[in-house]
Structure 1
Amino acid sequence: MITIQSALTGLLLGGLYALMAAGVSVTWGVLRIINLAHFGMILISAYLTFQLASDWGLDPILTLAVTVPAMFVAGGALQWAYDRLGISELNSLLASFGLLIVIVQLVSNVWSADFQRMSAAVNPYATASVGIGRLVFPVTTLLAFLVAVAFIAAAELVLRRTFAGRALRAFAEDRTIASAFGIDHRRLGIVLGGLSGATAAVAGMLFALANALTPATAFEWFGIVFAVVILGGIGHLTGTLAAGLLVGALSGVVSVLLSPAAAPFVLFTAIVLALLLRPRGLFVRAAQ
């Protein structure tokens, strides 16, 4: 029963991993930008959630009314800068990592390097749970799972059923041909960057609901998020969701059967095997 509980809890937590990875995956796959500053936007959003809930008494979920527009603008502006400066895929990795360092230092200066956590008085979600038989699931992980599924489903619908979505997919396949057919990739890129920033805001809020915050937390997300991106297939949102759930469940089971310290070893072994056997991702069809 403990193993089942851990696997299901990890599976639900995988929704948060998928949501964190979605913005990185889609900007990398479509715009050819490896945007490590995305982690910084998640971090800032988490701290803003903490600040607005603790000082202003806002419900943590309602802080999205502030953080989502702010991160949408930040994400769009960042993509505009990448495009205007003509930053290549490799250079974007270096430039965005430098920007992440700046963001982490800024957060340290504003909120200090000490642990910060919302109190139970302003964050009732942290202690709430839902029981199904003998299984108990924290509300925070259930919420992360439901939000991730809803977001991925909506994003896939937009990409496959709307003109803007089809234009983005065409641009990802062949930029030259897409531009020849009149697709304004710069404007679409800015919108996509903004939407990526909006997902960072939601992920930051969900992380802050269940966890203590430190500026260095942003670096701890690297391994999990890139594992999800690689296993799911770069730019494939449905695969990102499936990979997030897989990574979460695998980490939960390994932590119980072996130890929490063994979870990264098993996870990165899986990444190496995936790169060797399915380099385009576990959940990407060969024809794609």
Structure 2
Amino acid sequence: MHSLIQALILGLLTAGVYALMASGQTLIFGIMKVVNLAQGAMVILGAYLAYQLFTSFGLDPFLAIPITTVVMFALGVAVEVCFLRPLKREDRSELSLLVTFAVALLVEGVMSVVWKTNYRSVSTSYSNASWTVFGYQITLVRLWGFLLSLVALGLLYLLLNRTRFGRAVRATVQNPDAARLLGVEAQRVSALGFGLGSATAAAAGSVYGLLYPFNSGSHYDLISLLLSIVLLGGLGSVVGAVIGAVIVSVSSAVVASTLSPSWSGMTYFVIILLILLLRPRGLFGTATRGAI
């Protein structure tokens, strides 16, 4: 029982970082109906940027997040303007898969040239620090990462539900044609939405670099994880991404603890298969274009 509860704690804390990664992925789909295969590469690039700021200037990865998010936001806007906007609207859903995969390969190539392909990690003075609470270990990095994710997701919620930009986003998700008639600049919303999704990837990447070793090819494993989360939660639903991240992370941690770590990666695929058989659109997916 002790190991099971410890696994639940570990899974829940890790779920916060996964949710932050996946929220950007599902936000981009909700706005643009684009499955962004470059999201994993954006996370790893965010990890590299935090790593470089730490090694070159001694800036703590958590304190580097405002810098990395601004840089990645600008990069996301540039990707949307240069690579996705020129696509014809009727072909965007299909062609965007190829385009975003090409962007992922481009980002991977740049990272390989700049930082080479050997594994890197960010090791701070508190990297191995932990607290013991009622006999259970809580690592400091995972706890701070979880709290950061809660704050970031809370800000994202307020942005989508309490601002003019958020109303424009929700209008575009629900009915893009009607939104245009009401004066919403769909192209501007798409660019800002893609930038926002990239910014959340940067924030998650800073924490990811503290938790796991990474190299330029790490995004392949990440994108499969992120796609699993957003499919489970329902494409276009930020709430679904959060719930999906909790299910995926906790189930993997429990199986790794009680059975074998080699089975943990298989667990969430089984869960996804079962849920999609019962609910093809995911837990919070709808028949409309998005569910933000």
What's the TM-score bracket when you normalise by the shorter of the two chains?
Answer: over 0.9
Query: Is this contact kept in 2: 1:125–1:209, CA < 8 A?
Result: no
Alignment of 1:143-154 (within 5 A): 143-154=144-155
SS class of match (2:80): helix
Measure how far apart 1:285 and its partner are: 7.6
Q: Separation in 2 of the partners of 1:49 and 1:125?
A: 16
Alpha-carbon deviation of 1:231?
A: 1.3
**Within-5 A mapping of 1:242-253:** 242-253=243-254
Using the size of structure 2 for normalisation, the TM-score is: 0.92
- Counting only pairs closer than 5 Å after superposition, residues 74-89 of structure 1 correspond to structure 2 as 74-81=75-82, 82-86=84-88, 88-89=92-93
Gaps of 5+ in 2: none
Equivalent residue number for residue 2 of structure 1: 3
CA distance in 2: counterparts of 1:91 and 1:125, whole angstroms: 44
Alpha-carbon distance in 2 for matches of 1:234, 1:263? 23
Note the aligned Cα RMSD (angstroms): 1.8
Query: Residue in 2 aligned with 1:112?
Result: 116
Q: Secondary structure at the match of 1:18?
A: helix
> Structure 1: which 5+ runs fail to align?
none
Alignment size in residue pairs: 285
Q: Is the 8 A contact 1:128 1:139 kept in 2?
A: yes
Matched-pair contact (CA < 8 Å) for 1:127–1:138: yes
User: Scaled by the length of structure 1, what TM-score is found?
Assistant: 0.93
Q: Distance in 2 between matches of 1:286 and 1:75?
A: 28
2:95 counterpart letter in structure 1:
N
- Cα displacement string for residues 51-81 of structure 1 (whole angstroms, at most 9, x for unaligned residues): 1111221122222243111101001111222
Residues 100-119 of structure 1: per-residue CA shift (max 9 Å, x gap): 11211221121111111233
Q: From the superposition, tell whether residues 285 and 34 of structure 1 become closer, same or farther in structure 2 (CA, over 3 Å).
A: closer
One-letter code of the match for 1:135?
Answer: Y
Q: Secondary structure at the match of 1:172?
A: helix
- How has the CA–CA distance of structure 1 residues 58 and 158 changed in structure 2, closer, same or farther, with 3 Å as cutoff? closer
- Residue 280 of structure 2 aligns to which amino acid in structure 1? P
Residues 56, 154 of structure 1: alpha-carbon distance in 2 compared, 3 angstrom cutoff: closer
Partner SS state of residue 137, structure 2: strand
Matches within 5 A, 1:1-288: 1-81=2-82, 82-86=84-88, 88-119=92-123, 123-283=124-284
Aligned counterparts of 2:152 and 2:234: Cα–Cα separation in 1 = 17
Deviation at 1:286, TM superposition (A): 8.8
Q: 1:249: how far off? A: 0.7
Which secondary structure does the structure 2 equivalent of 1:178 belong to? helix
Q: Deviations over 1:121-147 (max 9, x none)?
A: xx1231122321111111221122222
Quote the sequence identity (%). Answer: 33
> 7-16 or 146-155, which moves further after superposition?
146-155
